[in-house]
Every structure is written in structure tokens, then in C-alpha cells.
């Protein structure tokens, strides 16, 4: 019985033959110099933590997007709406106070407030204490939307933070306050590097 010859595969391009003992191991330089995040001068644990943070941020953003979709809103619009719900009190909340609470740029908050007003979820009134600003609060439709989405928020947040102790949460809160501040300086460094490349 004749046997079929195996079809010859074309040689892979740009692939060098392996020569044991010839290649030199490449040692990547550390990506950070701060002793607090190095282990014996090695940055492996640091980089793996960064990868983990990026994964966590991506999942958190996915949750925000899902909360928004539940109300036919974008993630940013949802954040402004829920932020208003928690900060408006009896009189309403200013754009600046809302921006500080949600960690969004005031110009971005202003834009999203306008869109939420168009959707009938927010109302805007003059600020009797400061004529240079306005006060924003939920409309009856906005209040109903917050009540409708809140059970989903609770279920998801309870899953996100299950098994996290009070002490761990406090440490994370302090860390991210510092990390967000340092992020401003990091972005400045990136902009400076960009200018240097174009000069």
C-alpha cells in the first residue's frame, strides 16, 4: 500500500536557525528607578502590578459603560447624573463642585450637563448665592432613573469590592489620591518629551 509523502512546508521567512549556546540573553533595563517599587533592583513585580491595574481600570470602565447603557447614556453622562444625585442636596450642586466630586474636567461636566438637560434628566437654575454659577439637580425623570438603576449598582459594586477589608480600602483610597496627583506630573513629562521629539 502506497504511503503519501508529507507535503513540504515552505521555509519561514526571516527566521534564523537556532544555535544553542550562541545567542546572548537580553537583559531589559528597569522601567523605573524608585526603590519603593523595585525588588532587589528588579522591576518585574512593578510591571506586573501595572498590568493588573490596567486590567482593573478596563473592567471598571466596562462597568461604567454598562451602567450608562442601562439608562441609554454614555459612561460620562452616567457619572455626571449619579454625581448630581449624591451632591445636589436641597438646592442643587454647582458645576465646579460636581467636577471636583466626579474627577472630571469642568468643561466636560458642563457639556454633559447640557446633554442630560436635553434628555430631561437634569434641571439647571440660577445660583442666588453666586450669579456667576448655576445650580444643577435631578428632574423627577432623573430621580426615577437613579432609583431604577440603583439595584444594578449595588449588585455590581458588591461583587467588585467583595472580600476587601476596610483597612485595604483605606489604603487603596490614599494610594489613588497620590497616584492621580502624580499622573498630572507624568502627563507633563510626556508632553515635554513630545515637544523634544518635534524640535
Specify the CATH number for the domain of residue 108: 1.10.10.10
Q: In what order do the strands lie in the sheet with 122-126?
A: 93-94, 134-138, 122-126
Look at residue 2 in the predicted model and tell me its pLDDT.
53
User: Which of the pair, 6 or 173, is modelled with greater confidence?
Assistant: 173
DSSP letter at 93? E
Look at residue 7 in the predicted model and tell me its pLDDT.
60
In a domain, 21, yes or no: no
In a domain, 72, yes or no: yes
Look at residue 6 in the predicted model and tell me its pLDDT.
56
Lowest mean per-residue pLDDT among 7-16, 21-30, 71-80, 133-142:
7-16
> What pLDDT, in 10s, does the model give residues 125-182?
998 888 788 999 999 999 999 999 999 999 999 999 999 999 999 999 999 999 999 9
CA neighbor of 106 nearest in space, from 74, 139, 80 = 80
In this prediction, residue 58 has a pLDDT band, given cuts at 50, 70 and 90, of: very high
CA neighbor of 135 nearest in space, from 150, 117, 119 = 117
In a domain, 199, yes or no: no
Look at residue 89 in the predicted model and tell me its pLDDT.
92
> What pLDDT, in 10s, does the model give residues 78-135?
999 999 999 999 899 999 999 999 999 999 999 999 999 999 999 999 988 887 889 9
In a domain, 162, yes or no: no
Q: For residue 87, give its domain range.
A: 45-149
Look at residue 130 in the predicted model and tell me its pLDDT.
82
Q: In a 10 Å sphere around its CB, with 0-12 CB exposed, 13-18 middle and 19+ buried, how is residue 178 labelled?
A: exposed
d(CA 123, CA 109): 14
In a domain, 69, yes or no: yes
Look at residue 199 in the predicted model and tell me its pLDDT.
78
Domain count, the chain: 1
For residues 58-66, average pLDDT: 97
In a domain, 68, yes or no: yes
In a domain, 8, yes or no: no
Torsion of CA 90, 107, 83, 147, to 10 degrees: 90
CA neighbor of 140 nearest in space, from 125, 120, 159, 160 = 120
In a domain, 131, yes or no: yes
Look at residue 9 in the predicted model and tell me its pLDDT.
66
Lowest mean per-residue pLDDT among 34-38, 65-69, 98-102, 193-197:
193-197
Greatest Cα-to-Cα distance within the chain, rounded to the nearest angstrom: 98
Unique residue bearing C-alpha cell 459603560: 65
CB 153 within 8 A of CB 70: no
Look at residue 3 in the predicted model and tell me its pLDDT.
54
DSSP 154-176: HHHHHHHTTT--HHHHHHHHHHH
> What pLDDT, in 10s, does the model give residues 165-181?
999 999 999 999 999 99
Amino acid at each position: 500500500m502506497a504511503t503519501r509523502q508529507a507535503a513540504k512546508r515552505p521555509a519561514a521567512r526571516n527566521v534564523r536557525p537556532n544555535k544553542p549556546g550562541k545567542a546572548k540573553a537580553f537583559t531589559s533595563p528597569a522601567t523605573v528607578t524608585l526603590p519603593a517599587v523595585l525588588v532587589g533592583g528588579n522591576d518585574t513585580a512593578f510591571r506586573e502590578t501595572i498590568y493588573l491595574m490596567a486590567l482593573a481600570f478596563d473592567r471598571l470602565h466596562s462597568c461604567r459603560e454598562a451602567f450608562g447603557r442601562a439608562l441609554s447614556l454614555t459612561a460620562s453622562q452616567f457619572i455626571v447624573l449619579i454625581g448630581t444625585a449624591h451632591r445636589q442636596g436641597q438646592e442643587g450642586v454647582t458645576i465646579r463642585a460636581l467636577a471636583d466630586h466626579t474627577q472630571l474636567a469642568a468643561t466636560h461636566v458642563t457639556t454633559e450637563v447640557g446633554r442630560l438637560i436635553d434628555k430631561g434628566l437634569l434641571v439647571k437654575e440660577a445660583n442666588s448665592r453666586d450669579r456667576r454659577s448655576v445650580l444643577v439637580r435631578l428632574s423627577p425623570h432623573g430621580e426615577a432613573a437613579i432609583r431604577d438603576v440603583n439595584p444594578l449598582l449595588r449588585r455590581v459594586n458588591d461583587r467588585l469590592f467583595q472580600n476587601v477589608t476596610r483597612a485595604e480600602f483605606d489604603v487603596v483610597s490614599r494610594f489613588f489620591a497620590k497616584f492621580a496627583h502624580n499622573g498630572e506630573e507624568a502627563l507633563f513629562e510626556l508632553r515635554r518629551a513630545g515637544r523634544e521629539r518635534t524640535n
